């Protein structure tokens, strides 16, 4: 953003490339360096207008809309992106073409800014590829989860993949997200699916979290035990919905919390695994399978289990 743009009112004209995009996401992509909190503030206070009318941050842009952006007062010194992954994205790339990019995200890296995080992975990508007209997350991973992360490089690809993600039944499961997790105890082979609604931002003991609650949104997870250890099980997890902390909450609600989970896990179990070197959540997005939004061909990508998690498995006593 130029210095001139910061001090003048701008009128942006929406074209077909941004048709259907949420207003907040559009502004976050256009107003590089402006804090997320400030963007939401100028929308909610009516300083941003669509066709001269006030709208919500969730408003879906239409081809031909006129967006009024007010003068923006930025901090004197914008925060720099963290060193993080550096700029060698090639070693983290699992798949890339003209409309998609799949990365093997490491644990400990937030996928986007917010909740005290100034720069997430998507902001870093936009900094490192300034010529890219469009880069948006198709789905999200928790900060402490590693593995396959899908990014759209075209609005049409994002829209098609979001449509596929909404197909949550077993027969029409168009986007299959497969995870590996280590849980406390011996997961029973008879417990194959957990279908329990989740409500996020419930407050327990002063901490915000997701909980199983009939007032929440539908959530369905499939679990399959792969390897039994003396007091733990390596399980395969398939998500049919994408709720906040879904796998972690469903596993814990069944009595088999995921190893290394500081929010929903078991303190003693985590301490035992920390003694053999586990210093992160043992949850990894191992594979992603979906229909390519342009060709319709099935795309399947796998991310190998990180060395730290392999080392943990090697340190466990067999069943």
Task: Point out the catalytic residue in the list 104, 142, 144, 266.
Answer: 142
Q: What is the pLDDT of residues 55-69, one digit of tens each?
A: 998 899 998 999 999
Question: Which pLDDT band holds residue 239 (cuts at 50, 70, 90)?
Answer: very high
Mean pLDDT of 276-281: 94
The distance from CA 25 to its chain's CA centroid, rounded to whole angstroms, is 14
Band of residue 93 on the pLDDT scale cut at 50, 70, 90: very high
Tell me what percent of the residues of the chain surpass a pLDDT of 90: 57
Residue 25 pLDDT: 84
Per residue in 107-160, pLDDT (tens digit) is: 988 888 765 566 788 888 887 787 777 889 999 999 999 999 999 999 899 989
Q: Is the four-CA dihedral 27, 28, 32, 38 of positive or negative sign? A: positive
Rounded to the nearest 10 degrees, the angle between the axes of helix 36-44 and helix 23-30 is: 130
What percent of the chain has a predicted confidence (pLDDT) above 70? 87
Nearest to 235 by CA among 305, 183, 286, 273: 183
Q: How confident is the model at residue 16, as a pLDDT?
A: 80
Report the residue count for the chain: 319
Distance CA 139, CA 221 (A): 16
Please confirm, yes or no, whether 164 is among the known catalytic residues: no
Per-residue confidence (pLDDT) for residue 258, from 0 to 100: 98
Give the pLDDT confidence score for residue 194 in this predicted structure: 96
Least confident of 40-49, 119-128, 301-310: 119-128
**89 alpha carbon, distance to own chain's centre:** 18
- Angstrom distance (rounded) from CA 280 to CA 260: 5
The mean pLDDT of 291-319, rounded to a whole number, is 94
For residue 318, the SS3 value is: strand
| Cβ neighbours of 290 (radius 10 Å) | 22
Q: What is the average per-residue pLDDT within 28-54?
A: 85
pLDDT tens per residue, range 94-109: 999 999 999 999 998 8
CB 153 within 8 A of CB 112: no
- pLDDT, position 79: 46
**Lowest mean pLDDT across 5-9, 18-22, 220-224, 252-256:** 5-9
Which residues make Cβ contacts (< 8 Å) with residue 279, sequence separation at least 6? 260, 308
Which of the four pLDDT bands, split at 50, 70 and 90, describes residue 223?
A: very high
User: What is the DSSP track for 7-59?
Assistant: TS-EEEEP-GGGTT-BHHHHHHHHSTTS-HHHHHHHHHTT-SEETTB---TTP
Residue 91 confidence (pLDDT) above 60: yes
Mean pLDDT in the chain? Answer: 86
> Quick one: pLDDT band at residue 208, thresholds 50, 70, 90?
confident
CB atoms within 10 A of CB 266: 18
186/183 Cα distance (integer angstroms): 8
Indicate whether 19 pLDDT > 90.
no
Q: Which domains does the chain have, with CATH numbers?
A: 3-69 (3.10.290.10), 89-157 (3.30.70), 170-314 (3.30.2350.10)
SS3 of residue 290 by DSSP: strand
The predicted structure's pLDDT at residue 33:
66
Q: Are 159 and 288 in contact (CB under 8 A)?
A: no
């Amino acid at each position: 953003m130029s210095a001139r743009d910061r001090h003048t009112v701008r009128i942006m004209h929406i074209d077909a490339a941004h048709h259907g995009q949420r207003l907040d996401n559009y502004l976050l992509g256009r107003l590089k360096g402006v804090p997320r909190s400030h963007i939401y503030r100028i929308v909610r206070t009516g300083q941003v207008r669509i066709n001269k009318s006030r709208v919500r941050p969730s408003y879906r842009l239409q081809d031909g809309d006129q967006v009024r952006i007010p003068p923006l007062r930025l901090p004197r010194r914008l925060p720099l992106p963290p060193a993080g992954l550096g700029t060698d994205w090639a070693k983290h790339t699992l798949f890339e073409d003209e409309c998609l990019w799949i990365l093997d995200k490491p644990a400990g890296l937030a996928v986007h800014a917010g909740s005290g995080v100034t720069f997430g992975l998507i902001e870093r990508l936009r900094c490192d590829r300034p010529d890219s007209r469009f880069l948006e997350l198709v789905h999200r991973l928790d900060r402490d989860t590693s593995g396959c992360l899908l990014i759209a490089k075209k609005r049409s690809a994002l829209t098609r993949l979001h449509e596929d993600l909404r197909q949550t039944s077993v027969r029409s499961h168009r986007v299959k997200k497969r995870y590996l997790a280590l849980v406390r105890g011996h997961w029973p082979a008879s417990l194959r699916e957990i279908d329990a609604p989740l409500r996020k931002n419930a407050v327990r003991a002063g901490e915000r979290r997701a909980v199983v609650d009939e007032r929440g949104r539908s959530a369905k997870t499939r679990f399959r035990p792969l390897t039994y250890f003396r007091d733990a099980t390596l399980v395969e997890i398939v998500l049919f919905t994408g709720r906040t902390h879904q796998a972690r909450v469903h596993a814990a609600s069944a009595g088999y919390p995921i190893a290394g989970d500081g929010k929903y896990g078991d303190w003693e179990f985590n301490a035992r695994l920390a003694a053999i070197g586990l210093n992160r959540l043992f949850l990894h997005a191992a594979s992603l399978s979906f229909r390519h939004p342009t060709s319709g061909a099935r795309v399947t990508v796998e991310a190998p289990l990180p060395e730290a998690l392999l080392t943990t498995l090697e340190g466990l006593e067999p069943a």
